[in-house]
Amino acid sequence: MDNTQSDALVFFGATGDLAYKQIFPSRQRLAKRGKLIGPVIGVAKAGWGLDQFKARAQDSVEKHGGADPEGLPKLLAALRYVDGDYNDPATFQQVRQHLGTAKHPLHYLAIPPFLFGKVIDQLKASGCADGGRVVVEKPFGHDRASAHALTAEIDRVFDEDHIFRIDHYLGKNSVQNMIFFRFANSFLEPIWKREYVESVQITMSEKFGVQGRGAFYDGVGAIRDVVQNHLLQVVSNIAMEPPPCTDVEALRDERMKVLKSVQTVDKEDVILGQFKGYLDEPGVKPGSTVETFAALQLYINSWRWRDVPFFIRTGKSLPVTATEVVAKLRQTPPVFSEDVPPQNYVRFRLSPVPMIAIGGSVKEAGDRLRGCMVELEAEQQCGTDELLPYEELLEDAMRGRQTWFARKDYVEAAWRILDPLLADKPEVHTYDPGSWGPADADKLTKDFGGWSNPV
Ligand code: BG6
């Protein structure tokens, strides 16, 4: 592992949505903490100059968390801007000039994957790739074969140690904590298996629609946008075995092993939906059948999880914005009467406010020996160093730390699971904005107590 500190940051797609919503705010925080080393060079083809670019950075941080009196001036002072075409070697010569004496630039590709190969080759030809690293955004490819081909394109110039496939879910403290909580508490691990867990549900619900990203979203849909990456990462964290040592690869191996044991998903296992009004979104193709909702079940054929269904549900324009994992534990037999006590569960709320809760059964007040459900909730966070996901991941990439990035075999294994479905999707049902998606989605969980809806 090469832990040399990167001494410049070049980002392609610098005038885009991701830079605006996530990357500038994270960089401002890195700048404040003194972790933004060297120039920050934005590259795009927007006909802009440096002043316009700086104004965009300022606007971005003001709208996303607020301008910081220490961080913002540092960030603005570090900014450089190159306006040019990715096909034109002159664009990369300018980047080279701005790099100055930097020897280990980090190149961030916030651009559509079809441009990766072109940019990578130009980075090499211009000398910008020398001693450098590259960060690539998700989705990495659109199926297994294209992910493999993309890796081959990037491999020509950067080796795997220097390629960082970003998935910002892995930068969330609540997602990392799932692994920590499981293995740091002796009370959970003994029951975290098929003998005790009846089913697992993961819901990533978003109250908003596609927020002006219609052109991007219509090219991917819910499965490629969040299931293949964010939600399978969550599955890996729930289901993995404890790593044998603290080595970075040991952890990544365990997460990879989970995906290897997941059965492929096909159209019988899935309900897809599209919210009414999606077709009117700017950038969406007329008559598009792209899904904005997906509910599916998958099985992990490991010793620990065989026959336990994992239900995944995600959608835009649902009733709330929240991501939760609920593991339902097997029902106990009736205790004192014929009334079966409510089923226990463990709930990880990953966002917006992280929480861990355990659902238990206590005796109802009164003269009957009957159970009612109570929830033991832990909402407090310890530590004061809460980092934004992109902030943590950018800092990690600049230090060469791969722990929370996806390895090439992991990404391909994730596509393997979904490829049959993506090649042959079921019919897409429409649903009302503000509802929990198509009614048919309820059929998936009907034998397992129904969906557990976050509130
Ligand atoms: C992105 C998806 O990767 O993750 C978006 O492209 C989605 O469609 C977003 O809204 C959700 O991330 P978070 O961190 O807000 O839950």
DSSP 167-189: -GGGG-HHHHHHHHHHHH-TTTG
Count of alpha carbons within 13 angstroms of residue 395, beta-carbon side:
18
Residue with CA nearest ligand 1 atom 6? 225
Q: What's the burial of 6, exposed, middle or buried (CB within 10 Å: 0-12/13-18/19+)?
A: buried
Counts for the chain of helices (H) and strands (E), in that order? 15, 15
Dump pLDDT digits (tens) for 283-298. 999 999 999 999 999 9
Residue 173 phi/psi, 5° resolution?
-60, -40
CA of 97 to the centre of ligand 1 (A): 35
| pLDDT score of 440 | 97
| pLDDT score of 246 | 87
Q: Mean pLDDT over residues 372-397, rounded?
A: 89
Residue 338 has pLDDT above 70, yes or no: no
Q: Mean pLDDT over residues 73-90, rounded?
A: 97
Atom of ligand 1 nearest to the CA of 351: 16
Residue 173 has pLDDT above 80, yes or no: yes
Say how far apart CA 62 and CA 52 lie, in whole Å.
15
Dump pLDDT digits (tens) for 235-285. 999 999 999 998 999 999 999 999 999 999 999 999 999 999 999 999 999
- Asked whether 226 lines ligand 1 (CB < 6 A), one says yes
Residue with CA nearest ligand 1 atom 13? 169
CA of 171 to the centre of ligand 1 (A): 12
- Asked whether 391 lines ligand 1 (CB < 6 A), one says no
Say how far apart CA 145 and CA 153 lie, in whole Å.
12
| pLDDT score of 98 | 97
Residue 284 phi/psi, 5° resolution?
-85, 135
CA of 230 to the centre of ligand 1 (A): 8
Mutate to test the pocket of ligand 1, among 20, 230, 393 (most ligand atoms within 8 A of CB): 230
Dump pLDDT digits (tens) for 405-414. 999 999 999 9
| pLDDT score of 13 | 95
| pLDDT score of 380 | 77
pLDDT band with cut points at 50, 70 and 90 for residue 23: very high
Say how far apart CA 428 and CA 183 lie, in whole Å.
40
Q: Any idea which residues carry the catalytic annotation?
A: 230
What's the mean per-residue pLDDT of the chain? Answer: 95
Say how far apart CA 363 and CA 371 lie, in whole Å.
5
Strands 197-205, 309-315: pairing is parallel
Residue 129 has pLDDT above 90, yes or no: yes
Q: What's the burial of 328, exposed, middle or buried (CB within 10 Å: 0-12/13-18/19+)?
A: buried
Q: How many residues does the chain have?
A: 455
- Cα dihedral sign, 151-91-168-75: positive
CA of 247 to the centre of ligand 1 (A): 29
**By three-state DSSP, how is residue 366 classified?**
coil
- Asked whether 18 lines ligand 1 (CB < 6 A), one says no
pTM listed for this prediction: 0.95
pLDDT band with cut points at 50, 70 and 90 for residue 333: confident
| pLDDT score of 155 | 93
Say how far apart CA 226 and CA 222 lie, in whole Å.
6
CB contact at 8 A, 120 and 134:
yes
